[in-house]
Amino acid sequence: MKTPTNLLFLLTLFATLLLSCAKKNASDEGQKMNVFIDDLMSEMTLEEKLGQLNLPASGDIITGAGSNNNTADKIKEGKVGGLFNIKSVEKIRAAQQIAVEQSRLKIPLIFGMDVIHGYQTLFPIPLGMSCSWDMELMEKSARIAAQEASADGICWTFSPMVDISRDPRWGRVSEGSGEDPYLGSQIAQAMVKGYQGDDLLKNNTIMACVKHFALYGAPEAGRDYNTVDMSRNRMYNEYLPPYLAAVDAGVGSVMASFNEIDGIPATGNKWLLTDLLREDWKFNGFVVTDYTGISEMTEHGMGNLQEVSALALRAGVDMDMVADGLLTTLKQSLDEGKVTQQEIDQACRRVLEAKYKLGLFEDPYRYCDENRAKTEIFTPENRQVAREIAAQTFVLLKNEDQLLPLQDKQKIALIGPLADNRENMPGTWSVAGDFAKSVSLLDGLKNALGTEANILYAMGTNIVADSLLDSRISIFGKPTKWDKRSQKEMIAEAVAVARKSDVVIAAVGEAAEMSGEASSRSDINLPENQKELLEALLATGKPVVMVLFTGRPLTISWEKANVPAILNVWFAGTEAGNSIADVLLGKVNPSGKLSATFPQNVGQIPIFYNHKNTGRPLAEGKWFSKFRSNYLDVPNEPLFPFGFGLSYTTFDYKNLKLSESTLTKDGKLTVSVELTNSGNYDGAEVVQLYLRDMVGTVTRPVKELKGFQKVFLKKGETRTIEFTLTEKDLRFYNSELKFVSEPGDFKVFVGTNSANVLEAPFTLN
Ligand code: NOJ
């Protein structure tokens, strides 16, 4: 009986030794880095130090012979710390060569890019990815993105974007993970791990940059770049957790956001960038501004370029994206005593540290391997993973009479402006993608069914009817394929095609650039001309499946009431058409769950599941009561709640049980539920656990997600799903912004979405 105890002791000893060795190695490494950077900085002039703080956009000017252009000259003079959105090993190598061969101190450049949802192999847009609720897949997608980007010379990505948003008018909801701080935090960590791997020195890992710090997802009226104003209580409890999660995961850099916080733009906000980020959260990487974030502070009314540049540096900015403010004004500010040498040195040191951590001093061409560029990008293996992941992100919103999956040998009419449209499949922010190589839905169905198959096609209508709007959403090489024929003519053709079919698939929705940056909308209905098309198709009496392409929740109340089946596919990336075909044809059973609430109309916005109760809540199941918190003209309920998503099978929840009725400070509570796949298909379900703190010193939300598990069950299978809760799960930021739990009554909810749950009470002692 003695052996196991001894063994345990030895194992613990061994683990402790390993840990202390690892710590020692890390601190030795840190020491080495400090000595290296001290030496280097002792040789740097003030101008060279300021050069490290400068991040211009590359344009496309660096070529082998590009040394005559302006950026190349600046690199030679040591006035550039890095470049971004420059693509290809050839160009990156050429720029790096100028830095390490022609500048005085030969300091390598850092190369960044917006690798947001994949590099050339594009995954679904981040909002779509978040609906997979699958952290392994999220990490895998970031790993592949890093692999491909690093094979093409990139060592730094401006991702993950973790801005919580509850306003689908804001176009950039497409780039985030939806409305929930818990889910958002899990995703932030998975993405950072995926990009950075276990060792930044490897040539296939890249540095992540969490953005946009902070609160960028809460602009007034959903208008991009607009003012944000928020209580500390809301910030700490609801909006800041995903940024903190990324910092805890070791993210190498942080991007300051465009918006103001408490009246001071984030880029010049010392409370945000230093007190919170560095002192409270212990962030030790570097802070970069967003594009012209510094010079934009003059428009915010914070002073001229010199003043705002000094403000940014003092606040904690280390690198200036595009504004040229730090490079051109800090010398004067130093002379005038507006900034200190120490502040400049600190920023320069942080940029140099990032380069050191990436191994660029050891080998500036670490990421410039032409062979990797040829063999590791857009590979069949990566595309296969993209296809599998995309199918996990689709959300089945409605499926009357089991219209889906499609039956064998049905004659399909594929109709709609997004049916035969490769360019719009990847969605917003797909900088490195080759859009012509993405798979449209028409391609995907043909690939699955063979070219001989019964697929009839008609475009039916344009994405939008207004040509001016069309020109605004046809940029970045993603034309909508505007058809000059009249709406009447196009619908007539579509109806004729529909009449010849057994089932109509209507590929409708937004163009890729109707969401994303600077793509806010005040009306988030399906464009009226597309609704007309749907009406005409429904009038044929044929069953209609709506495949919805969108970068945001849309107000599709009419469609929900009238179209029998709706599959929301977001923008699914390179393999979109293949993955959609996999799901439509039943090869994959959909399991995506919404990470953002769909409102019934824009008047309900902001709408989110984890709201407060108020002093006058509306009784459950009611539409309206006078003097209660509600509307005269629309119920409080959303169109589709957070966490919602159907499957081709059905899942039953039974027997919610708690191991104890009381949780103690150091104890554990096991929550279990019986889950049965009661339908006719094997399938995956995301089991969701929510909590409510019934009484607090500050008001608490009616529900908060605190756990989830994606489980796969064969048809007919029953499984007991267990979650463990501890006191830590009950903590929140109180009125003094302390992260605490408060003894008292709680409720736990488990279910298939935020609105459909079983519940049980317990107490924290
Ligand atoms: C502006 C965007 O806000 C940010 O997300 C992006 O990383 C930069 N431009 C660089 O392209």
**Which fold, 651-764?**
Immunoglobulin-like (2.60.40)
Ligand 1 atom closest to residue 209's alpha carbon, by position in its atom list: 7
Nearest CA among 387, 388, 420, 403 for reference residue 507: 420
CA distances from 354 to 286, 558, 575 (A): 7, 52, 34
For 440, the 3-state DSSP assignment is coil
Per residue in 698-749, pLDDT tens? 999 999 999 999 999 999 999 999 999 999 999 999 999 999 999 999 999 9
Is the distance from CB of 200 to CB of 357 less than 8 angstroms?
Answer: yes
CATH of domain 24-373: 3.20.20.300
Separation of alpha carbons 328 and 432, rounded Å: 31
**290 CA distance to ligand 1 centroid (A)?**
6
Beta strand pairing call for 739-740 and 732-733? antiparallel
Is the distance from CB of 687 to CB of 638 less than 8 angstroms?
Answer: no
617 secondary structure, DSSP code: P
- What angle is formed at CA 756 by the lines to CA 751 and CA 759, rounded to 5 degrees? 60
Strand ranges (E), 459-537:
503-509
Separation of alpha carbons 201 and 206, rounded Å: 9
Is the distance from CB of 552 to CB of 524 less than 8 angstroms?
Answer: yes
User: In terms of CATH, what superfamily is 391-595?
Assistant: Glycoside hydrolase family 3 C-terminal domain (3.40.50.1700)
**430 CA distance to ligand 1 centroid (A)?**
12
Q: What percent of the chain has pLDDT over 90?
A: 92
Query: Is the pLDDT score of 595 beyond 80?
Result: yes
Ligand 1 atom closest to residue 85's alpha carbon, by position in its atom list: 11
Domain ranges of the chain: 24-373, 391-595, 651-764
What local confidence, expressed as pLDDT, does residue 23 receive? 65
732 pairs with which residues across the strands?
Answer: 740
Residue nearest to atom 4 of ligand 1 (CA): 290
Pocket, ligand 1, Cβ cutoff 6 A: 114, 158, 211, 290-291, 517
Nearest CA among 247, 227, 250, 231 for reference residue 239: 231
3-state secondary structure 65-131: CHHHCHHHHHHHCCCCCEEECCCCHHHHHHHHHHHHHHCCCCCCCEEEECCCCECCCECCCHHHHHC
Query: Is the pLDDT score of 64 beyond 50?
Result: no
Query: Is the pLDDT score of 347 beyond 70?
Result: yes
Per residue in 646-659, pLDDT tens? 999 999 999 999 99
Mutate-to-test residue for ligand 1 from 291, 292, 294, 429, highest number of ligand atoms within 8 A of CB: 291
What local confidence, expressed as pLDDT, does residue 25 receive? 73
Mean local confidence (pLDDT), 185-204: 98
Nearest CA among 758, 578, 729 for reference residue 658: 758
Per residue in 441-475, pLDDT tens? 999 999 999 977 789 999 999 999 999 999 999 98
Count how many Cα atoms sit within 13 Å of the Cα of residue 225 in the half-sphere of its side chain: 11
Q: How many CB atoms neighbour CB 126 within 10 A? A: 32
Task: For residue 706, give every residue at least 6 positions away whose Cβ sits within 8 Å of its Cβ, in sequence order, or none.
Answer: 182, 689, 690, 691, 725, 729
Residue nearest to atom 7 of ligand 1 (CA): 158
712 pairs with which residues across the strands?
Answer: 684
What local confidence, expressed as pLDDT, does residue 12 receive? 62
Query: Is the pLDDT score of 21 beyond 70?
Result: no
Nearest CA among 69, 74, 150 for reference residue 367: 150
Ligand 1 atom closest to residue 161's alpha carbon, by position in its atom list: 5
**257 CA distance to ligand 1 centroid (A)?**
9
Task: For residue 758, give every residue at least 6 positions away whose Cβ sits within 8 Å of its Cβ, in sequence order, or none.
Answer: 653, 656, 673, 749, 750, 751
Separation of alpha carbons 71 and 86, rounded Å: 12
Residue positions annotated with a catalytic role: 290
Q: How many CB atoms neighbour CB 751 within 10 A? A: 19
